[in-house]
Amino acid sequence: MEKNAVRSGAFARRRRDAALPLLFVAGFCAYGCNHGSMIYTPLLVLDGGGDLFAVGLQATVFLALAVALRFWLGPLADRRGTKPLMALGLAAYAVTTPLLGLCGTFAAVLVVRCVQAVGMAAFFPCALSAVSEVAGQRNSGLTLGAYRLVSSVALTVSAAALFPLVQSIGYAGTFTVMGAVGALGLLCVLAAPVPGTAQRDAERGAEDDGPRNPGLLSQLRQILAAHRLLTASVLGATFVAALGYGLVTNFATPFVEKAAPTVNAGVLVALVGVGGLVANPVAGWLVDRRDSFSTLAFFLGCLGAGVAALALVPAAPAGMPLVGLAVGVGYFGVATSAVALIAKRIAPEGRSSFIAMQQNCIDVGAGLAGIFFGTLFSFASPAVGFVLWGVVTMAVGIAILYAATDAKRRAHRV
């Protein structure tokens, strides 16, 4: 028995060691296709005679469809396994991205972007869930933090590499290259030994008794309702952080340029990215060590302090580097610690549903930030808005910490 257990453990480690590099390469390919399409589709539309309304429409339709699809695809991945959905997502990018360069009308571009929305909704939540499962409970946080760095690297590479490609071989050739990158990612997913639902059931000695839930939305409601504190804390923190991130990316640069013309406002955005590079692995490592809502509250505090301090940059421009770093560390720390907490506290058969909702909070929060704060700034100055939202963000962190402490106290009493 002991020998069998040792062999089983060694086999599991070999599968994990083989799967993670493949999943990281697949993630880089998927993020590269997604970022490249988001950056260059607007330019394609404008060069084809479209206007700014058409540019905004394709982006809105893409994002709205992805958000809607996650309500269905997350639970479907929990029921059928993450690997088929990851393969579907990368196949959508591999097949449709080359078609973007061949689109002769805006309607054709819109259709392609809708198919790519399926790819975005299917791949990314499932990939995070698969990475956490392959990494195992002990190191899932740090592994997820490292995996989230892939997105930053892919954005940097795609932004730098695709521009000269467009200049030399045009949009059609560039999007074809991107499609080949998506195909490479698909091959990595197909080769990765990611456990499916049937394998999980077999390892637990469970029998397949057919569907255990009447519907996918009912399954989603059951998972969220069974973890109320986690649902409120993780999804609430993610939504608040995404609104704050959208506030900074949409309004911080024009505010600083107008209030302090001598300051290079672009440095602020760059430092936000640097803060993210630091926060992603650190946040995952902290969750591995503590598995506590205090990590989430800490990064919300960093984000809130950074957003509020933006109001002081015109008066104290020397503090801008610290402000940018605080915003980056706070936002990316919240996003990573949220996913890591889900990985720690939700079983694999419910994890994709939870992560899909967390991803929706990011997209909806960032998408609403422009409208919400743009309306607010018609009544109040940007400086007041930054301070107000910074205070709200820190208050949410304190509320999460209090709720978690109270829940722990109640559990000890019982």
DSSP conformation letters of 140-173 = HHHHHHHHHHHHHHHHHHHHHHHHHHHHHHHHHH
According to the model, what pLDDT value does residue 5 have?
42
In this prediction the pTM is 0.89
Cα Rg of the chain (Å, integer): 22
| Four-residue CA torsion sign, 136, 138, 142, 145 | positive
According to the model, what pLDDT value does residue 408 have?
80
Cβ neighbours of residue 333 closer than 8 Å, sequence gap 6 or more: 279, 280, 282, 283, 295, 298, 299, 302, 303
Q: Please give the Cα distance from 280 to 293 (Å, whole number).
A: 16
Place of tokens 């009447």: 214
Phi-psi region of 55 (alpha: psi -120 to 50; beta: other; left: phi over 0): alpha
* Ranges of residues in the chain whose predicted pLDDT is under 70: 1-17, 196-214, 413-414
Amino acid sitting at position 215: G
Place of tokens 């579907």: 88
Q: What is the DSSP letter of 265?
A: T
| The pair of three-digit structure tokens given for residue 10, joined into one six-digit string | 């060694």
According to the model, what pLDDT value does residue 64 have?
95
